[in-house]
Amino acid sequence: MNTFQTLVAGALITVGAAGCAVNPVTGERQFSVMSAEEEIAIGRQHYVPSQQSQGGRYVVDPDLEVYIRDITLSLAEVSGRPGLPYDIVVLNSSVPNAWAMPGGKMAINRGLLMHLEDEAQLASVLGHEVVHAAARHSATQASRNLLLTGALTLAGVAAATRESDYAALAVGALGVGAMAWQARYSRSHELEADYYGVQYMLDLGYDPQGAVELQETFVRLSEGRQSNWLDGLFASHPPSQERVRANRELAEQNPGGKRNREAYQRATAQLRQDAPAYENYDQALKAANEGGYDEAMNLVQRAIDHQPRENLFWELKGQLHMQKEERSEAISAFDRSLSANPEFFRPYIYRGILHKAADNRSQAEEDLLASRRLLPTQLGSYHLGELAEARGARDEAVSYYREVIEAGGELGERAQQRMSGLQ
């Protein structure tokens, strides 16, 4: 039994005793089967896999993450639970989203940052997520899921990874990540996070009008039914006119405060400069999904010409070369992707598959294991199983194949056939 299973089992056993806990922010009783220690341990365990399954960290401009982390930690200091091990990363995803896991682990996507105008609006987003963590909303949601389903969704084997499937190449398509924890917050949780998030903004001197503008933007975009928004922030943070009205009342009661527009514009200058490149990348993904590989190659090359330090651009170029069976060009593109960001799992998988096809088994296994350390996937496990089988490591191969079989699908069937041949 692994650490997480042990925590879940303990939570189930103690459900009667721990069914209610004090909300550290409001002081009221709320349902939870997790202790504070379990909450922190779960967040720590799943933080990196959740990042990996949603595009990895944005690395082109590391100073942006430093800027956002400083604001987040300042908000956490005035929260009802300043002692949590808070952390936040900027995820390399165009989907406008932000989330908080149990234990204070948080993320914000570059796609959301592009829709904000100043630091007050950013502080509204960050304060809202700090409340979700401090008030144990994620843990409460996870506790309800635990009782309803008997287990929490893990961010372990990402079964969505399949060969020759461009739908699985899009950022965020390889696993549920933090969605397992946040699902859809309740109306009361959202209003609570809005209210106390504004209080934290006020404590730091921010203009609460930023929170009003943020919710107005969310409502407008949700009414326009922009699918990328609905798949992102709105999936777990549903906007409403009720939330707009509540924030407006708070702003009217506490007018004025800092906006820090220039500071925010400076901090996000690289993102804004690179916006056309990311638009080309997103269009390239769409073209690839529809089978327009030449169009996709032209679009991703434009993105690379604009911003050659972005690892996702080189990775997609490598995948397109794979589609055309141009092995050396694909490996070269994956090399560039990993040089730009050696801490993202996907290029390792595809480069490892190419080396395996060329019978460079040692290099293939090295790449596939590097990917596995960042995020175990069904595809990676299958090819590691074949490599283990080729060198006569039967038990190791069986172990990998069992993982693949558990995830199901076509690869699961293929793994079952391979394993049957070993018996």
Q: Tens digits of per-residue pLDDT, 17-29?
A: 445 677 766 656 6
Q: Centre a 10 Å sphere on the Cβ of residue 132 and count the other Cβ atoms it contains.
A: 32
Q: Which residue has the higher pLDDT, 5 or 37?
A: 37
Q: Contact at 8 Å (CB) between 101 and 133? A: yes
pLDDT for the residue 157: 34
Residue 158 has pLDDT above 60, yes or no: no
Residue 37: predicted pLDDT: 87
Of 315 and 189, the structure prediction assigns the larger pLDDT to 315
Q: What is the mean pLDDT of residues 414-422?
A: 92
pLDDT band with cut points at 50, 70 and 90 for residue 422: confident
The fraction of the chain above a pLDDT of 90, given in percent, is 65
The pLDDT score that the predictor gives to residue 397 is: 95
Angle, alpha carbons 75-79-81 (nearest 5°): 125
Report d(CA 46, CA 73) in Å as an integer: 20
The tokens for 259 are: 């906006």
Please give the pLDDT value at position 175: 37
DSSP code string of 111-140? HHHTT--SHHHHHHHHHHHHHHHHTTHHHH
Q: How many CB atoms lie within 10 A of CB 3?
A: 11
Residue 351: is its pLDDT beyond 80? Answer: yes
pTM, entire model? 0.86
> What confidence category does residue 128 fall into, taking pLDDT thresholds of 50, 70 and 90?
very high
Q: Which CATH class is domain 345-423?
A: mainly alpha
Nearest-Å Rg of the Cα atoms of the chain is 22
Mean pLDDT of 218-238: 65
pLDDT at 252: 95
Predicted local distance difference test score (pLDDT) of residue 153: 37
Handedness of CA 202, 206, 212, 215 (dihedral sign): negative
Mode of pairing for the β-strands spanning 87-91 and 105-109: parallel
Nearest to 323 by CA among 372, 365, 370, 290: 290
d(CA 10, CA 275): 47
What pLDDT is recorded for position 111?
94
Over the stretch 132-152, which tens digit does the pLDDT of each residue have?
Answer: 998 886 766 665 555 444 433
Q: Is the pLDDT of residue 311 over 80?
A: yes
pLDDT given for residue 363 in this prediction: 98
The structure tokens listed for 394 are 């039967």
d(CA 311, CA 374): 16
* Residue matched to tokens 């699902």: 183
The 3-state DSSP class for residue 226 equals coil
Is residue 3's pLDDT more than 70? Answer: no
Q: Are 267 and 247 in contact (CB under 8 A)?
A: no
**C-alpha count within 13 angstroms, C-beta hemisphere, residue 78:** 18
Report the C-alpha gap between 311 and 333 in whole angstroms.
9
- Residue 259: is its pLDDT beyond 70? yes
Give residue 28's pLDDT: 64
Q: Is the CB of residue 212 less than 8 Å from the CB of residue 264?
A: no
Q: 331: pLDDT confidence band, cut at 50, 70 and 90?
A: very high
Mean pLDDT over the full length of the chain = 84
The Cα 122–Cα 39 span in angstroms is 26
Q: Tell me: pLDDT of 192 over 80.
A: yes
Range with the lowest mean pLDDT among 88-92, 148-152, 183-187? 148-152
Element (H, E) at 213: helix 209-223
Check pLDDT > 70 for residue 94: yes
Task: Give the number of other CB atoms < 10 A from CB of residue 388.
Answer: 19
Q: Name the residue with higher pLDDT: 349 or 136.
A: 349
Mean pLDDT of 233-248: 80
* % of residues, the chain, pLDDT over 70: 78
Query: Do 136 and 102 touch, CB atoms closer than 8 A?
Result: yes
Q: Using the 8-state DSSP alphabet, how is residue 192 labeled?
A: H
Query: What is the C-alpha separation between 6 and 151, in angstroms, rounded?
Result: 12
For residues 19 and 33, the answer to whether their CB atoms sit within 8 Å is yes
pLDDT tens sequence across 369-380 = 999 999 999 999
Statement: residue 253 has pLDDT above 80: yes
Question: How crowded is the C-beta side of 225, counted as CA atoms within 13 Å?
Answer: 0
Q: Is pLDDT at 390 greater than 70 in this prediction?
A: yes
Q: Are 385 and 404 in contact (CB under 8 A)?
A: yes
| Residue range 274-342, CATH number | 1.25.40.10
Rounded to whole angstroms, the Cα distance separating 423 from 413 reads 16
Q: Which candidate, 272, 220, 240, places its Cα nearest to that of 113?
A: 272
For the chain, residues classed under CATH 1.25.40.10 are 274-342, 345-423
Contact, 157 vs 227, CB < 8 A?
no
The greatest distance separating any two alpha carbons of the chain, rounded to the nearest whole angstrom, comes to: 73
281/421 Cα distance (integer angstroms): 42
Most confident of 229-233, 384-388, 417-421: 384-388
- The residue-averaged pLDDT of 267-284 equals 98
| Sign (positive or negative) of CA dihedral 171, 177, 178, 183 | positive
Rounded to an integer, the average pLDDT of 164-178 is: 35
